Amino acid sequence: MNYHLQAIVLSILFLQPSWVVAKEDTPPVTLDEATKTVTKDTENKVLSAKTKTIDDKKIHIIKILTKKGRIQHIKIDAETGKKLEKSTKDKVKDK
């Protein structure tokens, strides 16, 4: 009986609770979330949104029409949600 109690206590100590999520396990930014971020607090109109692979990284590309009538392509890193520099013109592979 004592052996079983020790086994249970050790199992509890070494198990990671399922409600604890490690930082590495956080899901990437979805295309919808990236699109909402780009258009938040602006009058820009989304013309298209797609995810592509650039240098083995998933990148969300949101094509917008600004209120001044200009078309812009906004690139968002799918892992971090951060806006990328405009100079990212690398090899592009469709999703």
Q: Is residue 9 part of a domain?
A: no
Question: Which residues in the chain come in under a pLDDT of 50?
Answer: 22, 25, 88-95
Q: What is the pTM of this model?
A: 0.62
The residue among 54, 94, 43 whose CA lies nearest residue 76 is 54
What confidence score (pLDDT) does residue 88 get?
42
Sign of the Cα torsion 25, 29, 33, 39 reads positive
Domain that residue 57 falls in? 27-83
What confidence score (pLDDT) does residue 13 get?
63
Q: Is residue 8 part of a domain?
A: no
The residue among 79, 24, 71 whose CA lies nearest residue 51 is 79
Q: Is residue 48 part of a domain?
A: yes
Q: Is residue 2 part of a domain?
A: no
What confidence score (pLDDT) does residue 65 get?
93
Number of domains in the chain: 1
